[in-house]
Structure 1
Amino acid sequence: MADLLFEIGAEEIPAGFVPTALRQLEVDLAKALDEARLAHGEVKAVGTPRRLAVWARAAAAKQTDAKTEAFGPPVAQAFDAEGKPTPAALGFARSQGVEVGALQRAQTPKGERVLVTKVEKGRKAEQVLPALLERLVAGLRFRKAMRSRWDDATFARPVRWMVALLDGRPLKVRFGEVVSGKTTFGHRFLAPRAIALKGTPEDYLAKLRAAHVLADPAERRAALEKELARAAKAAGGKVREDEPLVEQVLYLVEEPTAIAGAFEESNLELPPEVVISEMRNHQRYFAVVDGKGKLTNRFVAVSATKVKDPKVARHGYERVLRARLADARFFFEEDRKRKLHDRIADLGRRTFQAKLGTELQRSDRIGAIAAALARAIGREELVGDVLETARLAKVDLNTGMVGEFPELQGIMGAHYARIEGIKVEIADAIEDHYRPIGAAEEMPRNDLGALVGLADRLHSLVGIIGVGEKATGAADPFGLRRATIGILRILLDRGYHLSLATAVEQALDQLSGVKLAADRGVVAEQVLDFVRGRLKALWGERHAPDLVEAVLAAGFDDVVDAERRLEALAEIKARPDFAPLAVAFKRVANIQEKAGGGAAGPVSAELLRDDAERRLLAELERVEQEVGARRASRDYAAVLRSVATLEPAVARFFDDVLVMAEDPALRANRLGLLRRVGALFADIADFRKIQAELPQVTQAAG
C-alpha cells in the first residue's frame, strides 16, 4: 500500500471555482480508483488559488483480478443429442473469443445455459494510474475555462505544472503541453523556487507550509479567522460576521495576513449598507463593529503576502476606499435632491423585458396583483398601502446609488423613503419585497412586503413563461427558479392559505395587452407545473420522495395546507403499523380507479350481505363523525390517526367480500362503500404513490 499524490498547479483560479473543483476531485478520484479495481483509503482534496491537489492514502500496488461471466444459449440448443456443439454454441464461443471446449454449464432461473468465465489479471498501479489521472484533470468542469494557444486542453486558468507521485515515485501524466514531475512551487513571491516532494500528504502540506502556502483550506481558514480577530481587536472592535466573504477570501490567498485600516468618520452618515457594500463587494474588506454591533469607521483587509511595512499597505487600502466612499457620498447626496414620487415616471423609460414592457408597466401590474392577493387573505384595509408600495418598490432602480451598487436595490429605496418621512411600514416593505434573497433566512417583516414580494415574483414567473421564455437544465437567465422558491417560502412563512391557480389567473389578467406564446390555459398549466417541480425539490430536502409525490398528487393549490398534509403523512408513516394501512388504502384507490366514478352508488344498509361490509360501514360512520371537525381545523395528523383505525375493517372487507359482484346493485353498493373510505384520505394524499409492502410470510412445511 502506498500514497497517491496528484497536484495541478495553475495561474490564479477564480475563488468561486476552487471549492467546487476540490469536491469534484475527491468524488471523481475515489470513483475512478474503485472502477479501476484499485483499493484505497482516504481520498481528500486540498487547494489554493494556484493549486488543486488530491491524494488517496494506502493505494493498492496492483489491481484486483476481475472475473466476468457471459451466459449463452440454453444447453439443449448448444449441444445436440450426441453432445456435439451446434452452430449456436460455436457462434457463442467465437463471440467470446474462446474455444468451444471452454464453454461451461450453469443452472439459471431460465434453465441450464452455457457459460464462459473470464478472468482479467490485474495490472500494476503505475500502469493504470497515468491514464486515470489524465482523465481526472481533463474531466474537471468550470463555469468558464481557458484554452491554451498551443493545444486544445481547457482549464480554469493556464496549467503551469503538475505533480503525480505513487509511493514517492513519479508517474508520467500529460495535460496539454504540461508533463507531471515530482516538484511543486511555494508562494509566488515569498518562496518561488521548486520544491521536491516525497509523495505523502504530510510531506506535501509541511513543505508548502514552510514555503508560505497553507494548502489545506481548513488550516488556512483557521489562520484567516485568527488574523481577522487579531487585526479587528487592534482596531478596537470585532469583525462583522460575513461567512460568504470569509469563504471568498479563503480562496483568494495562500497565506493570509490581515491589516486594519480606517476611513473618515463622516462616512458613517451614509446608510450602513452602503459603506459595507463598498468595502466587501468592491474591495473584499471586512467591516468592523463595536461591542453593540454598530458599524465603526474601521475595516480589515487581507493581503496574500506578508508586507515589510504595514503602514504602506494600510495607506494603500485606505486610499482606495476613500475614493470609493467619496463616490458613494456623491451619489447619495445627488439622489436625495429628487423625491421618490418624482422618479415614478422615469420607470416608463426603463425596459423590464422586451415583450413585457417597461418597469412602470411592471409596477402597475404588481400593484394590481398584490391588491388582489390582499383581498384574498382578507386584508382589504391594506389595499391602499399595497398599491403605494408597488408604485415605489422599483423607483430606486433609477437612482445613482443603485446604478453604482445594484445589490442595494430595495435597500436604498427604503432609506430614501424613511428620509422623506414616508410611512414606516411602506418603507420597510420597499426593502422587504426582495426578501428572501437566495438561501438567506431574512423574510418580509410585514404583510405589505410579503404581498408585494409575492406579486412581483408571480408577475415575473407568469410573464416570462407566458412570453415563451423557460428555464433549462443549466440556464435560468430570468431567475424563474429563484422567483418560485421565493413565492413558496413567503407563502409558508406567512401561512397564507392562497390558491396558486387563482393567483396565476390574477397575474394573467394583468397581461391582457401582452402577446402570449400559447393559449392562456396552457400558460397557466405550464406555470403550475413549474411550481410543482420547485415544490417537489424544496420538500424533497426534508421528506421521502414517495411521500412528497403522494401529497402533490392529491393537490398543492394551497401550499400551506399541502405542507401540513405532508407533515401529517410523515408522522403516520413512522408508525410500525403503517405498511398494512398503506397497502389497504392503495387497494381502495386502485379499485376505485379501475371501476370508474360512475360505477359506485349511494350506500344502502339493506344491500349489505356480509358481516365484514356491515362492520366496515359502522366503523366508517364513526370515523366520518370524528374527522369532520379535525378536517375543518386542518389537523391532518389527527385525521389520519382516526382514518388509520379503519384498517382492520378494510382488510377484513377485502378478505371476505367480493367487491366486483355480478349483481349490479351489490357491486355499486360495495363500490360506494369504498368511495366513502377513499374520500377520507384522497384529498390528503394519493396512497398509490407511497412505497409500502406487506412483509412476506413463509409457511413451514407440515
Structure 2
Amino acid sequence: MSSKNLLVELFVEELPPKALKKLGDAFASALVTSLKNAGLAPSTAAVTAYASPRRLAAHITDVLAVAADKPVVQKLMPVAVGLDADGNATPALLKKLAALGADASAVTSLRRENDGKADILFYDSLAKGATLAEGLQKAIEAALAALPIPKVMTYQLQDGWSSVNFVRPAHSLIALHGDSVVPVAVLGLNAGNTTQGHRFEAAVSPVVIANADAYAETMRRDGAVIAAFAERKAEIARQLAAAAAKAGANLKPIEDDALLDEVTALVERPNVLIGQFEAEFLAVPQECLILTMKANQKYFPLLDGSVENSGKLTNQFLVVSNISPADPSAIVQGNERVVRPRLADAKFFFDQDRKKSLESRIIGLSKVVYHNKLGTQGERVQRVAAIARAIADQLGGGALAAHAEQAAVLAKADLLTDMVGEFPELQGIMGRYYAQHDGLDADVADAIEDHYKPRFAGDSLPRNRVGTVVALADKLETLVGMFGIGQIPTGDKDPFALRRHALGVIRMLAENDLDLPLVGLLTVAGRAFSTVDGFKPAESALADFIYDRLAGSLRDEGYTAQEVDAVVSQRPQRLGDIPKRLAAVRAFSALPEAAALAAANKRVGNILKKVENPVEAVVDAALLKEAAEVALHAALVDVVPQADAAFATGDYTESLSALAALRAPVDAFFDGVMVNADDPALKANRLGLLAKLHTAMNKVADLSKLSA
C-alpha cells in the first residue's frame, strides 16, 4: 500500500512565547502517535515539528491513505451456552453475533478454544482500516486537547454565533497528504492548502503550499518565515555571534538559553541589530542592567570577553528584530530610546537605596510576615543568626562567628530596598553591593549574596567560610522550621523548596568536608525555635528526609543502589566522608571474598534481630569450645585492630580490605558451630561473638546490602 508524507499546520494569532517550543513539540508528537496507533503511519515514521509565533505544524513521513484491515478476535461465550445439544445457535449466541454485525450464517465459522476450564467460542473477523480523513480528524482533536496550555481563551467564529476554546484565535488549517487536501475540520476551520506568511514581509498573501514536502521552503521563500523552531534558534545564535564580532573585538553576547528560546518564539524572520546606551549607566551594578535588558526588553547585553575584563558589561546590546528594512536605523534608535528609561530607573533605585544603610533597614523586617506560624522575617533573621553563630563556634569561633552573625542579621535587609522590590531576582546580589557601600568586611558582603547558594542543581557554593556558615544556617532554619510545623513535602508538592534546601545542605557539608555531624546540626537549629508556639521538633523525620535526598543524589551521580544503600543506611554523620566510604565499598565489592562476607553479614544481622534483648559484643574466651569459634575469635582479635586503625585515619578502603581475612573463619563457624546451643552461657557467648563480628563488619558500611 503506497504512502505519502503528511503536513498539518494550524495558523493562529501570536502564541505565548515561553510556551511555544513545548506547544510545537507536543502538537507534533501527539499527531504522529495518534496516526501510528490508528495504523495510518508505521512505527518508523519520522516527524518534524514546526513552531513559530503564529503557527504550529508537523510534517510526518510515510502516512497511508487507508490503514490496513485489522484481524479482530472476539471472545463470545462457552460452547455449552452458545450451542444447544444439537449444535444449533442459542438465542444468546445469536444476540451476541447481531451486536457484532453478524448473523446466524457466522455460526459455522466460529472457532472453539479451551481456556483451561471449558471450550469457548471465538468470532474472528476483519476490522476495516480507518481512512486518513477519519484518523487525522481524531488525531488533530486529540492533539489540540492534549496541548500543555495553562489557560485557554474563548472566541467567536465568523458566523457570530458559535464560539470555541483555544490558547489563541485560529484562522486557517492546512492538511496535505502529498499534494491532496485531507478533508478535516477543527476550531471552525476547514482544511485547505493556504496559510499566511510573515505579518509584514511575506512576498504573497495567502501563501500556497503545493505539497507536504514543500512547506518549509515555501514558507521561507514566499512567506518570509523560518518555520522550524530549532532552525530559527540556530539562525539567531549565528547572527548574535556575527553582530557581536562586528560591534567590537572580544565582545560576546550574554549566554542565556531561556532568553534565546523566548526570543526565538517572538520572531519569524530574525534580524539582529546593534544598539547602545550611555556609558554613565555602567556605574550601576551590571546585574541590574543585564536583568532589566533581558527581562523587560528581551535584549542580549554585550560582554567584554577579553582576559582583563572578562564578563564585564559594555554599553552595547543586541536586538533581535522581526523585520529587515533596508535602513534599520529607526529600529535601532527606537530600541535605544525605549531602554534608556529602564536603565534610568535602575540607576535611580540604586542611588536611592544607598542613602540608607543595610543595618537601618533591619527593623523593617519585623513588619514583614514570613509565615503565620513562624512569625516575621525579623524573627526569622534572629533564628538564622543564632544558628550561624552556633555553627561558626564549632568550625572556629572568634572572627568567623562574629562575621557569620553579622552577615546573617543583614542577609535579608535588601528585601526592603527599591531595587529588590522591582527585581526580586537580585536579592542577595544587591545586598552585597550595599554592604560594600556601607564599608563592611568583604567576607560579610560576599556572604550576604552567597547565603542563597546553591540556588539550583549545579549552582556554585558560597565562596568563603562565612557564606557557607550563613547559607547552612538559612537552609537549616527553613528545613527545621517547616518540619516543626508539619509543612512536610508530599508527592510533587514542595512549596517551600525543602528538597532543594536539603540538597544544598548536603552539598555544602560534603563538598567542603565540614566536620559538622548532621544530627548535631539539626539539634542546634531546633534550639532556635524554643520560643515559637506550636513548634514540635521533628529531627528524626527531617534526618530521614535529608538522607533520602542524599541517596537519590548519589544514585544520580552513578553509584549503584546497593553501594548507596550500604553507606547511607549507616547514617554517617560527617557527609564529607561519604565519597571515601563509597569508594571503599566499591573496592571491597571487587574482592573475591566480598560476596561470601556480605551474605554472612546479612545472616548475622538476621540472627541478632531475633534475639529479644540487645546483644553486647563481649566474648568470654574461656567459653569458646568449638575449634571454629576459637578460630573466628582469634581472627577477630587479629583483624579488628587493623580495620579500626585504618578507620580511625579515614582509610576506609584499607579498613574494609582487612576484613577479607575473616572469610574462611566465618564460613567455618557457620559450618561447624550451633549458635543456639542448649547451654544458655554458650549461646550468649556465641551471640556476643557474632555481635563483635557484626560491629567490625559494619563500621564503614552495611555490607549486608551488597548481598544479592
Normalised by the length of structure 1, the TM-score is 0.83
CA positional deviation for 1:328: 1.4
Deviation string, structure 1 residues 495-542 (Cα, Å, up to 9, x no partner)? 2232333322322222233233xx624x33443343344334323322
Paired position in structure 1 for 2:18: 16
CA positional deviation for 1:386: 0.9
Structure-2 change in CA distance of 1:300 and 1:649 (3 Å): farther
CA positional deviation for 1:70: 7.8
Q: Aligned partners of 1:24 and 1:548: how far apart in 2?
A: 36
Paired position in structure 2 for 1:311: 329
Q: Aligned partners of 2:182 and 2:675: how far apart in 1?
A: 72
Paired position in structure 1 for 2:215: 204
* Unpaired stretches in structure 1, ≥5 consecutive residues: 694-702
Structure-2 change in CA distance of 1:525 and 1:124 (3 Å): same
Paired position in structure 2 for 1:302: 320
Deviation string, structure 1 residues 100-119 (Cα, Å, up to 9, x no partner)? 97332478xxx999796967
Q: Aligned partners of 1:648 and 1:195: how far apart in 2?
A: 83
Q: Is 1:247 aligned to residue 247 of structure 2?
A: no
CA positional deviation for 1:587: 3.5
CA positional deviation for 1:563: 4.7
Alpha carbons 2:646, 2:655 under 8 Å: kept: yes
Paired position in structure 2 for 1:288: 302
Paired position in structure 2 for 1:696: none
Q: Is 1:417 aligned to residue 438 of structure 2?
A: no
Q: Aligned partners of 1:450 and 1:599: how far apart in 2?
A: 42
Alpha carbons 1:40, 1:58 under 8 Å: kept: no
Structure-2 change in CA distance of 1:580 and 1:252 (3 Å): farther
Deviation string, structure 1 residues 618-660 (Cα, Å, up to 9, x no partner)? 5444442332133223333443444455456545555555555
Q: 1:633 aligns with which of 649, 669, 694?
A: 649
CA positional deviation for 1:40: 2.4
Residues 631-670 of structure 1 mapped to structure 2, 5 A cutoff? 631-644=647-660, 646-647=662-663, 650-651=666-667, 653-654=669-670, 659-660=675-676, 664-670=680-686
Deviation string, structure 1 residues 454-473 (Cα, Å, up to 9, x no partner)? 11122222223433434454
Q: Aligned partners of 1:676 and 1:70: how far apart in 2?
A: 64
> Which amino acid is 2:224 matched to?
H
Deviation string, structure 1 residues 263-292 (Cα, Å, up to 9, x no partner)? 111111112222212212221111112333
Residues 157-556 of structure 1 mapped to structure 2, 5 A cutoff? 157-167=168-178, 169-171=180-182, 175-191=186-202, 193-197=205-209, 200=212, 202-210=213-221, 211-237=223-249, 238-244=251-257, 245-290=259-304, 291=306, 292-293=309-310, 294-516=312-534, 520-521=536-537, 523-543=538-558, 544-555=560-571
Q: Secondary structure at the match of 1:520?
A: coil
Q: Is 1:48 aligned to residue 52 of structure 2?
A: yes
Q: Aligned partners of 2:135 and 2:181: how far apart in 1?
A: 13
Q: Is 1:104 aligned to residue 113 of structure 2?
A: yes
Paired position in structure 2 for 1:697: none
Q: Aligned partners of 2:581 and 2:118: how far apart in 1?
A: 52
> Which amino acid is 2:244 matched to?
A
Alpha carbons 1:589, 1:687 under 8 Å: kept: no
Paired position in structure 1 for 2:103: none
Alpha carbons 2:195, 2:207 under 8 Å: kept: yes
> Which amino acid is 1:53 matched to?
A
Q: Is 1:593 aligned to residue 597 of structure 2?
A: no
Q: Aligned partners of 2:591 and 2:26: how far apart in 1?
A: 39
> Which amino acid is 1:123 matched to?
G
Structure-2 change in CA distance of 1:12 and 1:239 (3 Å): farther
Aligned residue pair count: 678
Alpha carbons 2:197, 2:224 under 8 Å: kept: yes
CA positional deviation for 1:452: 0.6
> Which amino acid is 2:300 matched to?
F
Structure-2 change in CA distance of 1:548 and 1:287 (3 Å): same
Q: Aligned partners of 1:28 and 1:368: how far apart in 2?
A: 54
Q: Secondary structure at the match of 1:103?
A: strand
Alpha carbons 2:547, 2:571 under 8 Å: kept: no
CA positional deviation for 1:407: 1.5
> Which amino acid is 2:56 matched to?
L
Q: Secondary structure at the match of 1:422?
A: coil
Residues 27-46 of structure 1 mapped to structure 2, 5 A cutoff? 28=30, 32=34, 35-36=37-38, 39-41=42-44, 42-46=46-50
Q: Secondary structure at the match of 1:413?
A: helix
Structure-2 change in CA distance of 1:270 and 1:220 (3 Å): same
> Which amino acid is 1:103 matched to?
R
Structure-2 change in CA distance of 1:171 and 1:657 (3 Å): farther
Alpha carbons 2:485, 2:536 under 8 Å: kept: no
Alpha carbons 1:549, 1:689 under 8 Å: kept: yes
Q: Aligned partners of 2:43 and 2:253: how far apart in 1?
A: 43
Alpha carbons 1:554, 1:685 under 8 Å: kept: yes
Q: Aligned partners of 1:621 and 1:71: how far apart in 2?
A: 75
Q: Aligned partners of 1:63 and 1:642: how far apart in 2?
A: 68
After superposing the two structures, state which structure 1 stretch, 245-254 or 677-686, moved more.
677-686
Deviation string, structure 1 residues 556-592 (Cα, Å, up to 9, x no partner)? 5443334543454355557788655544443343343
Structure-2 change in CA distance of 1:235 and 1:120 (3 Å): same
> Which amino acid is 1:40 matched to?
S
Structure-2 change in CA distance of 1:381 and 1:417 (3 Å): closer
CA positional deviation for 1:52: 3.3
Q: Secondary structure at the match of 2:614?
A: helix
Q: Aligned partners of 1:640 and 1:122: how far apart in 2?
A: 68
> Which amino acid is 2:278 matched to?
E
Paired position in structure 1 for 2:691: 675
Q: Aligned partners of 1:631 and 1:112: how far apart in 2?
A: 68
Q: Secondary structure at the match of 2:455?
A: coil
Q: Aligned partners of 2:589 and 2:63: how far apart in 1?
A: 44
CA positional deviation for 1:156: 4.1
Q: Aligned partners of 1:419 and 1:256: how far apart in 2?
A: 42
Alpha carbons 1:467, 1:515 under 8 Å: kept: no
Q: Secondary structure at the match of 1:135?
A: helix
Structure-2 change in CA distance of 1:113 and 1:102 (3 Å): closer
After superposing the two structures, state which structure 1 stretch, 676-685 or 333-342, moved more.
676-685
Root-mean-square deviation (Å) = 4.1
Deviation string, structure 1 residues 169-218 (Cα, Å, up to 9, x no partner)? 54455554445544444323322834444664x53322233223223333
Q: Aligned partners of 1:615 and 1:190: how far apart in 2?
A: 91
Alpha carbons 2:8, 2:173 under 8 Å: kept: yes
CA positional deviation for 1:160: 4.1
Alpha carbons 1:63, 1:125 under 8 Å: kept: no
Structure-2 change in CA distance of 1:382 and 1:4 (3 Å): same
Deviation string, structure 1 residues 126-153 (Cα, Å, up to 9, x no partner)? 2444324422331222444445578897
> Which amino acid is 2:698 matched to?
A
CA positional deviation for 1:611: 5.7
- State the percentage of identical aligned residues: 35
Q: 1:131 aligns with which of 132, 138, 156?
A: 138
Q: Secondary structure at the match of 1:188?
A: coil
